[in-house]
């Protein structure tokens, strides 16, 4: 079983007849999915998504793949294939198109419509190439075939890439719901046909590889939603992902059945459902919808709000309702339905929202106390099924954290894939497919690129560390005035502190120590401003650490006269 090595160096030149695969995101993490394929000097990109920040990344809005690997070769890109329209697969497209706006975007009808709607906000008019399952298209040296797959958003696709190096099947995100809401089954027959022909490398979704069995059908949620509507006495507020068309459809059907009106809240929800409705993916009964501004004109028992915020995002509608910072005021008897999965790392934020809503008298129904969500990703039984159908010569798990990748690799080994033909890579690891073997040959830079407001890449890991220190420990600034010639103290020290938890009067104890340290430094001939700052930082830092066991950011300000 091949796996990354910390000492991997730059990859060698690509041998003739070899296919190179480099994941710039999506391996060892949930999100930021982006894979770059190279053959014959040309590139093909599959997906280009974002990762959402963790609590220890304050101020960061989005995390992008690092485009440095392809930045000097943007003209070599034949196309970007988008398997489906979730943010972790399309969210970084606007930032890639800023660098080359005419890259062809390939995807299904709904996927392209949703990305075009997003790109409108960035003032980018994309070059689109719409495909449907069963079609084959050539993009430079890459012969691509598209397969229907079932997922938690309509119109998702898997793609196979044929080159002289062999056949690669990339599943995208998928599951094998046998009774899907839209009747669109994962094309297992197509996978089997490809397997009979010979799959040289399978790259398969690993998100649920640790979950045994098969994922529950989406249809099994409908009775639970119906029960919620039947028992609700006042307003119903449903929070889910802004792209989950099937889930929204079930809520609309239940609202229509129980005689309630529905309003969408949140920019992304309104935008995405508008697109899905216009294209016919979302069926809206006549007279059902209201504008969000009209909600207050209707009795609470007659309305349903569908909004974003199921992950506890601070600025989303649901979080603001929980904090009483939203025009919609949660009241006694309201029912809140969190109809989505819990993204790892968001547990604390979601629990805070649930507690906030409950405080105001709402009944909160979530995955923990009712079956109001099923996953969009194949469980281990389904993954085994695909491995047995395709019988790949080589296997590379994708789309998952380390534990998911390794669990999926174990499944592949159980189905007979030789362990030395299983490649567990991480972001930036270079894999070459040559002469029927997939091998790790090197690594390239594939770090995080942070989006902070309108700044892209301006925030560094050092800046994030400073933000964490400021958030956790606060800061102390010390202003001193010194003689520019002798370095002797002529004014101050003057201390200011914010968020450190230390009373300003307490600093009277350290000022004599600081004056003594500066006098000694002046006697030693220290007149350099940088050195004096170090003396101040070291003296105050030691005192704070010894006295309070804290490590605030210490900012010395030296004024020369």
Q: For residue 53, what is the DSSP state?
A: P
**Residue 227 domain-assigned (yes or no):** yes
Domain range for 446: 19-214+376-453
Three-state DSSP class for 16?
coil
For residue 374, say whether it is annotated as part of any ligand binding site.
yes
For residue 452, say whether it is annotated as part of any ligand binding site.
yes
For residue 377, say whether it is annotated as part of any ligand binding site.
yes
**Residue 2 domain-assigned (yes or no):** no
Q: Is 465's pLDDT higher than 90?
A: no
Q: Are residues 152 and 29 in the same domain?
A: yes
* Total number of domains constituting the chain: 3
Give the residue from 365, 388, 419 where a domain finishes. Answer: 365
**Residue 354 domain-assigned (yes or no):** yes
- Confidence category of residue 134, pLDDT binned at 50, 70, 90: very high
For residue 28, say whether it is annotated as part of any ligand binding site.
no
Q: Are residues 259 and 195 in the same domain?
A: no
Cis peptide bond prior to 272, omega within 30° of 0: no
**Residue 371 domain-assigned (yes or no):** no
Q: Are residues 165 and 238 in the same domain?
A: no
Q: Are residues 153 and 126 in the same domain?
A: yes
Q: Are residues 60 and 161 in the same domain?
A: yes
Q: Is 261's pLDDT higher than 70?
A: yes
**Residue 333 domain-assigned (yes or no):** yes
For residue 244, say whether it is annotated as part of any ligand binding site.
yes
Residue 535 belongs to what H/E stretch? helix 529-548
| pLDDT at residue 371, rounded to an integer | 81
Residue 191 belongs to what H/E stretch? helix 188-197
| pLDDT at residue 296, rounded to an integer | 82
| pLDDT at residue 312, rounded to an integer | 62
For residue 376, say whether it is annotated as part of any ligand binding site.
yes
For residue 7, say whether it is annotated as part of any ligand binding site.
no
Q: Are residues 160 and 183 in the same domain?
A: yes
Tens of pLDDT, residue by residue over 278-294, are 999 999 999 999 988 88
CATH of the domain at 93: 3.60.15.10
**Residue 370 domain-assigned (yes or no):** no
Give the residue from 432, 453, 474 where a domain finishes. Answer: 453
Q: Are residues 440 and 468 in the same domain?
A: no
CATH of the domain at 544: 3.10.20.580
CATH of the domain at 320: 3.40.50.10710
Instruction: Note if 377 is an active site residue.
Output: yes
- Confidence category of residue 258, pLDDT binned at 50, 70, 90: very high
Q: Are residues 430 and 322 in the same domain?
A: no
Cα(476)–Cα(495) distance, integer angstroms: 7
Q: How many percent of the chain have pLDDT more than 90? A: 59
Q: Are residues 403 and 357 in the same domain?
A: no
Tens of pLDDT, residue by residue over 172-193, are 999 999 999 899 999 999 999 9
Q: How many percent of the chain have pLDDT more than 70? A: 93
Q: Is 200's pLDDT higher than 60?
A: yes
| pLDDT at residue 548, rounded to an integer | 80
For residue 189, say whether it is annotated as part of any ligand binding site.
no
Q: Are residues 57 and 184 in the same domain?
A: yes
Rounded to 5 degrees, what are φ and ψ at 339? -100, 60
| HEC per residue, 314-354 | CCCHHHHHHCCCCCCCCCCCCEEEECCCCCCCCHHHHHHHH
Instruction: Note if 325 is an active site residue.
Output: no
**Range with the lowest mean pLDDT among 7-21, 355-369, 459-473?**
459-473
> What is the number of alpha carbons within 13 Å of residue 532 lying toward its C-beta?
28
Residue written as token pair 């690891």? 429
Cα(547)–Cα(500) distance, integer angstroms: 13
Q: Are residues 26 and 115 in the same domain?
A: yes
Question: Which position among 47, 66, 187, 205 bears the catalytic label?
Answer: 205
For residue 258, say whether it is annotated as part of any ligand binding site.
no
Number of CB atoms found within 10 A of residue 41's CB: 10
**Residue 9 domain-assigned (yes or no):** no
Q: Are residues 38 and 152 in the same domain?
A: yes
Question: Which position among 170, 377, 408, 421 bears the catalytic label?
Answer: 377
Give pTM, 2 decimals: 0.85
Tens of pLDDT, residue by residue over 374-408, are 889 999 999 999 999 999 999 999 999 999 999 99
Segments in 244-338 forming alpha helices (H): 245-257, 267-279, 317-322
**Residue 91 domain-assigned (yes or no):** yes
For residue 246, say whether it is annotated as part of any ligand binding site.
no
Give the residue from 425, 453, 481 where a domain finishes. Answer: 453
**Range with the lowest mean pLDDT among 302-311, 356-365, 401-410?**
302-311
- Confidence category of residue 503, pLDDT binned at 50, 70, 90: confident
């Amino acid at each position: 079983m091949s796996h990354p090595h910390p000492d991997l160096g730059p990859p060698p030149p690509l041998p003739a007849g070899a296919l190179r695969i480099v994941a710039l995101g999506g391996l060892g993490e949930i999100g930021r999915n982006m894979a770059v394929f190279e053959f014959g000097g040309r590139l093909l990109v599959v997906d280009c998504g974002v990762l959402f920040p963790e609590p220890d990344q304050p101020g960061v809005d989005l995390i992008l793949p690092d485009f440095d690997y392809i930045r000097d070769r943007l003209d070599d890109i034949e196309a970007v294939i988008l398997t489906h329209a979730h943010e972790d697969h399309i969210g970084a497209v606007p930032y890639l198109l800023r660098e080359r706006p005419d890259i062809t975007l390939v995807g299904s009808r709904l996927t392209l419509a949703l990305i075009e709607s997003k790109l409108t906000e960035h003032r980018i008019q994309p070059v689109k190439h719409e495909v449907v399952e069963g079609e084959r298209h050539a993009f430079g040296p890459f012969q691509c075939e598209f397969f229907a797959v079932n997922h938690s958003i309509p119109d998702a696709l898997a793609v196979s890439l044929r080159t002289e190096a062999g056949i690669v099947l990339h599943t995208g995100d998928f599951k094998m719901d046998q009774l899907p809401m839209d009747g669109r089954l994962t094309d297992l027959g197509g996978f089997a046909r490809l397997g009979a022909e010979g799959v040289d490398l399978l790259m398969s979704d690993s998100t649920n590889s640790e979950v045994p069995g098969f994922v529950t059908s989406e249809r099994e949620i409908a009775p639970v939603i119906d029960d919620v509507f039947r028992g609700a006495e006042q307003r119903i507020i449903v929070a889910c992902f802004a792209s989950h068309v099937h889930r929204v459809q079930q809520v609309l059907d239940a609202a229509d059945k129980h005689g309630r009106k529905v309003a969408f809240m949140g920019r992304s929800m309104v935008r995405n459902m508008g697109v899905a409705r216009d294209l016919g993916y979302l069926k809206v009964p006549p007279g059902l919808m209201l504008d969000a501004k009209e909600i207050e004109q209707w009795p609470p028992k007659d309305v349903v709000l569908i909004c974003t915020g199921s992950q506890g995002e601070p600025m989303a509608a649901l979080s603001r309702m929980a904090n009483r910072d939203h025009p919609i005021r949660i009241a006694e008897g309201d029912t809140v339905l969190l109809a989505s999965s819990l993204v790892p790392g968001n547990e604390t934020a979601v629990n805070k929202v649930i507690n906030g809503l409950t405080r105001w008298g709402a009944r909160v129904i979530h995955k923990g106390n009712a079956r109001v969500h099923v996953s969009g990703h194949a469980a281990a039984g389904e993954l085994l099924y695909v491995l047995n159908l395709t019988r790949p010569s080589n296997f590379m798990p994708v789309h998952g954290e380390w534990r998911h990748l390794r669990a999926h690799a174990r499944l592949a080994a159980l189905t007979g894939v030789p362990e030395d033909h299983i490649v567990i890579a991480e972001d930036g690891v270079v894999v070459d497919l040559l002469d029927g073997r997939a091998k790790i040959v090197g690594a390239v830079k594939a770090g995080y690129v942070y989006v902070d407001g309108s700044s892209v890449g301006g925030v560094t890991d050092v800046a994030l560390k400073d933000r964490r220190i400021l958030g956790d420990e606060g800061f102390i600034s010390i202003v001193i005035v010194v003689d520019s010639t002798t370095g002797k103290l002529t004014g101050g020290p003057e201390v200011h502190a914010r968020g450190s938890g230390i009373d300003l009067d307490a600093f009277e104890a350290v000022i004599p120590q600081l004056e003594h340290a500066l006098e000694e430094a002046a006697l030693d001939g220290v007149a350099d401003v940088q050195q004096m700052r170090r003396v101040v930082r070291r003296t105050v830092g030691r005192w704070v650490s010894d006295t309070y066991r804290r490590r605030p950011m210490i900012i010395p300000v030296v004024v020369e006269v």
